[in-house]
Structure formats: structure tokens, C-alpha cells
Amino acid sequence: MLLGTGFRPFFLGAALLASVAMAAWALVLGGQLSWVGPLNPFHWHAHEMVFGFTLAIVAGFLLTAAQNWTGRTTATGPLLGALFGLWLAGRVAAVVDLGVVGLVLDVAFPLVLAVAVGRPLIAAGSRRNYPFVGLLAGLSAVDLAWHLGWLSQTVAVRLTLDAVVLFIVIVGGRIVPMFTRNALPESGAHKRPSIDRIALALTWALLGVDALSVVVDIPLLVALIAGLAGIAHLVRMSTWGSAKALTRPMLAILHAGYVWICVSLLARAAVDLGVPMAATVPTHLFTVGALGAFTLGMVSRVSLGHTGRPIVAGRVTIASYVMVSIAVVFRIWAGVSPSTHALIAAAAAFSVAFVLFLVGNTVVLLSPRSDGRPG
């Protein structure tokens, strides 16, 4: 059953990694844990939250969604098990020095995932979803360049986060207004295609100028594009019925996650314009706020919906949403007024949020669909 559909093993793996890695990070920050891995602890933390945690969420979602988009199988059974094993091997390589083998295992995962997702998309001619394949291949290239020292950690993190932003804004723009309209017809949630195109174009442009920064530093252009993108995404979601969505936790957390994307882009612009603010603030507004809230909302929703269960947030799920929101508050505090205690609190709250997800959803993810259908 665990290998029936992509979301099952990858959502479990992502939640376990978030729970354990963030707890370990809190212990490292507090001095209770000595780091002995092949990467320095800051590199490991940044790398694993993107190439470990986030890519597992992306894998679970795309492997499942691509089947729905095309009616064709992506990866199930032994093939899905091998793909998950490759992801897991990369996580081992991040804490155990496996040399070149470890590097190959880690860099190979996004490429193999791109093939698993791209094969049915291309066969079905699902052109609007081709960008996901390109983004996965690009992430593999950035990962390799990061490992080999061809990119600084700052540039590598920016490029990887730009790619993840694109994943979220593409998917979010499709599902958030639809889910809101379906659950709350009175919200009047709807999309405006012209605004969608502008917001997405600016987000792609931000990825482009960040890639260009490898050879020339252009902070003013970056600030302009990031600021315009943040405003465009706020305008984009202004017709999504966010006020009405606050009455439904499973909708509210998705809207909150999208808002954090907008805020992080505006903060990014502020930093590049020289506003006195730690450069890590926009990064963590996105990674803790957007990634934490949006992915937690998605994995809890998909875990219920794709196992045939009612999409309703129980107490444990709501508690997980509260904890990830607390993590955002503490991480902002730590960025604005440097505090190790606030950093530790943020890491601990993020870890607890995903522990709560596991408490509420492990049995669900390991059990057959309640309606008896396959998957």
C-alpha cells in the first residue's frame, strides 16, 4: 500500500525528515549536538531543507498529479520504491561521507524524478506542465554546481528557492482559487488570466536575473523584479476569496502560505535596495512561512483526499498549522533581532508541526483508500 501512489512514501519521508532534521538543527544551534557530517552544519541545513524536504514534497505531489493530469502511470510498486530509495540515499549521503558515490546519488534524484514525471506528460502532450520537468533538471544542475563549489551557497540557495517559488505559484494559482470556490461558492473566488501571466512572467524573470548574477551582480534589477513580483502575486490572489477562506483551516493555511511568498519577495526587494535587514529574513520568510505553511496544507489535504477520506482538518491537523505559524513568528524575530533562543524555538516549532502531521496521517498514508479504489 505504501508504494501504491507517489504521495504516500514521499509525504511520509518529507515529514520524517522535517521532524528529525529540524530537531537536530535546534540541538546544533543550542550546542547540545556536535556536528560530524561531510557538510558543514549550515550547508547541510540549507541543502536538506530544499533538496531533501522540499523535493520530497514536490515528488509526492507531481508523481500523483501527473497521473491525474494524463491518465498514465508515473511510478508505482518497485519503481516507486527505487525512486524513494534514491531520495533516501541522498539523505544518507548528506550525513555520511560517501564521496563521489554520495554526490551522484544526491544529484541523480531530481533528474530521475524529471524522467518519471516527464514521461507521461510528454506522452500525453501535457505541454502546460512541461516547465515542471525543466525545473527539476535545473535543480539537479544547481545541486551539482553547489557540491562542486562552482556556485556559492548564497547563489545556489537563491536559484533553488526561485525554482521552488515557481513550483508553488504555478500549482497554487491553479488549486487555491479552485479549492476555495468549490468549498465556498459564496466567496466568489476566481482567477484573472492576464494577472496570472504577469505574476508568473515576473517570477520566471527573477530566476533569470538570479542566474545572471553568477557572472554579474545587479542588485537594483533584482530588487525591481522581486518587488514587482511580490506586488503582482498579491494582486493575483486578491480575487481568491481569502477573507472567506479564513473560516476553513485547510483553505486558510494555503492562502497564508501564498501570502508569505508575496511578503518574502517584497522583503527580498527591500534587502537588495539596502534596507537595514538581515539577508536571511526574506529567505526564511519563504522557507518557514511559504514552504512550511503551503506544503503542510497541501500534504494534509492530499493525504486525506487521495485516500478517499473527508477533507476536513481535525484537531491534530489544526495544531500542526498553529505550530508552523509559531515557527514563522520566531524565525522573523530571530532575523529582526538576532536571538539564538528564537532560532531554536523556530526550529523546534517547525519540527513539532510535522510530528503532528505524522501523528494525524501516518496510519492514513499506510492504509488502503477508504472507498476501496486503487492508489
Instruction: Clarify whether residues 147 and 158 are in a common domain.
Output: no
Instruction: Clarify whether residues 52 and 79 are in a common domain.
Output: yes
Indicate the angle between helix axes 130-147 and 153-183, nearest 10 degrees.
150
The pLDDT tens digits along the chain (375 residues) read: 788 889 999 999 999 999 999 999 999 999 898 888 888 888 899 999 999 999 999 999 999 999 999 989 898 899 999 999 999 999 999 999 999 999 999 999 999 999 999 999 999 999 999 999 999 999 999 999 999 999 988 899 999 999 999 999 999 999 999 999 999 999 999 999 999 999 999 999 999 999 998 888 888 999 999 999 999 999 999 999 999 999 999 999 999 999 999 999 999 999 999 888 888 899 999 999 999 999 999 999 999 999 989 999 999 999 999 999 999 999 999 888 888 999 999 999 999 999 999 999 999 999 988 877 776
* CA distances, 146 to each of 70, 94, 346 (Å): 34, 13, 26
Instruction: Clarify whether residues 135 and 176 are in a common domain.
Output: no
> Which of 151, 174, 206 lies at the terminal end of a domain, its last residue?
151
Instruction: Clarify whether residues 83 and 165 are in a common domain.
Output: no
DSSP annotation string for 312-346: ---HHHHHHHHHHHHHHHHHHHHHHS--HHHHHHH
Using the CB atoms, write b or e for 345-372: b if 16+ within 10 Å: bbbbbbbbbbbbbbebbeebbeeebeee
In the block, cell 539523505 appears at 91
Whole-angstrom distance, CA of residue 163 vs CA of residue 250: 25
Instruction: Clarify whether residues 94 and 59 are in a common domain.
Output: yes
Number of domain units in the chain: 2
Sequence-ordered list of residues with C-beta below 8 angstroms from that of 10, at least 6 positions apart, any chain:
56, 57, 59, 60, 63, 84, 87
Instruction: Clarify whether residues 54 and 76 are in a common domain.
Output: yes
> Which of 124, 151, 178 lies at the terminal end of a domain, its last residue?
151
Using one digit for the tens of pLDDT, what is the confidence trace for 276-294? 888 889 999 999 999 999 9
Residue from 268, 260, 332 nearest 296 by CA:
260
Instruction: Clarify whether residues 245 and 135 are in a common domain.
Output: no
Instruction: Clarify whether residues 124 and 249 are in a common domain.
Output: no
For 128, the domain range is 1-151
Instruction: Clarify whether residues 262 and 324 are in a common domain.
Output: yes
C-alpha 369, offset from chain centre: 25
Sequence-ordered list of residues with C-beta below 8 angstroms from that of 249, at least 6 positions apart, any chain:
313, 317, 318, 321
Instruction: Clarify whether residues 186 and 324 are in a common domain.
Output: yes
Q: What is the DSSP letter of 127?
A: G
> Which of 122, 151, 180 lies at the terminal end of a domain, its last residue?
151
Instruction: Clarify whether residues 162 and 25 are in a common domain.
Output: no
The whole-model pTM stands at 0.94
Instruction: Show the cell assigned to 188.
Output: 466568489
Instruction: Clarify whether residues 212 and 249 are in a common domain.
Output: yes
* CA distances, 264 to each of 64, 88, 195, 224, 233 (Å): 28, 30, 19, 14, 11
3-class secondary structure, 172: helix
